[in-house]
Structure 1
């Protein structure tokens, strides 16, 4: 389990986990936390799904940690202690100098920002940091209504009044039942998927939509009721259909009864940092500089030029974007020339069944 993954886990769920690990009893832990036991159990199931590991031995007559659970407990103890120190320090500072306004970062599910939040805490210890989750419908509106200062978004977004810095592209994958025949392949194409029941609006995957329009031989069924991506993936597990999402989202919603494969001819999901174009506050400029990789000593006035610094890319992300990204209005995903040049290509080699090597 990597530090990068653990840092971005919701601290509330980490605290729930640490309390259960301390008591080794869900009932006593729930009482200590003053939450309902079903709420505690669900939170820890979500934590296991997010991390992709089992934290407790199952089945078991007693509560017992797995090896992954013991490793997380060690890391969680340090994280929670650090969070307690920050909270106490912020409270003392706020009491002495008046409450400081928190700098709020909005993120889409699956986007990892721990590298940048750590740098912020090092450089701006007097400004509290708050991270909130957004959905596709709210990833830009949180900027307009003042709920967030900056937002990590998946393009395309409404560009009105918003500036962006492209950061990296996420790999598109199709989530499949574990026993699906396409799991024999290392990767798939939209042609392989045209007869599948896509559990999302086809316009969100135009490559599948266009291929299905000419190649599909069966009539498309109405979509079942779904509220979240987790709902869609639960339907995938039940054999109802498939869904195409960024790889990070598939990992975030991991289940034992599903798996995923890269889709080689679907455009990558571009992640960008967005902020209001007329917001020239010092904190926003500081955070933009952190994301660009600007050092703490560099001159703010000399480093804000979009031509001079590359955007920092999280470990494991695709470096498809240009080396010197320029702030730009958000456009439609897959319409730029750079996106076309970097589109993954299907080859016989990548699509060879696993067992035939």
Structure 2
């Protein structure tokens, strides 16, 4: 925002460069004169000491200054760049908040899944303890469950740390203290969103709407205007009209009497740069290099954007396939839990088998939720890359 404000001020200052330049000055001097030697008999009158008061007003009006004309266009373009960069910054922060929020949701969901799995393992360990006491099994199976439980506790601690980091990042990005988030799910309207677009459509949308790319493209125009301004400053003539008024009062002189004079001067001044006019060499060569750099940066960012859109689109497609497989796995695992419970009710199975089925269901649900949130992040990244606003999507 401050860059935008600065660009607006710079544009106004460039306009002032073509407006009249008016200045006034007042000077008070004490003059002590002594004629040491002169062939002029009048000048040999002797010495004098007197004050002088001078009032002066100067007015300069540029008539033709090609460099200033290009500077006005340059600063107007720079203001447009600042506006687009502001929009890009807003979208960047919005996307960063979106990603941090989903990361926090993933960490919390993973931690809860691990907690539920740990509870199932504790139930399995308790059941194995009973089997060991009855001599129906050895301690090896129970110990394996204990090892897995310890590993789950370690993973849960890591996910809690990830959650804390994501909440801290959200606090930093939003400027508020964030201690908790709402539950995040994949909206039904976003599922299989890649089917409604294509890589080519995404690239075309990015070239039209991605503010970061647009800002770089306009920067190329800005660099070209800067080069033209440099050419004008180095080689173009400048025509100014000027006027001055000076009122000078002398209280004395070498000739014994004081005087008051008023001088009015009006004229035209034509300045023609011939060689190294300002003693700084030629800006044109430097600005030409900057123009090439701006063009190279634009093409580099456009190539990078195309690559990112392609990879993000493919990631969305792969995640959609993975989600479909995970949904099938959850459905089958849930059906197995129901079947195993029915077998327990009929005396054909045990609660330990049900716990094993529930562990499989927990793992399948965990994978499905993770993939859905990963798809949500990929979808958000695709919107960001193509220049779509996440706020406009209600997120």
Bigger proportion of residues as helix: 2
Bigger Rg over Cα:
2
TM-score range, shorter chain: under 0.3
User: So what's the TM-score if we normalise by structure 2?
Assistant: 0.21
What TM-score do you get using the length of structure 1 for normalisation? Answer: 0.22
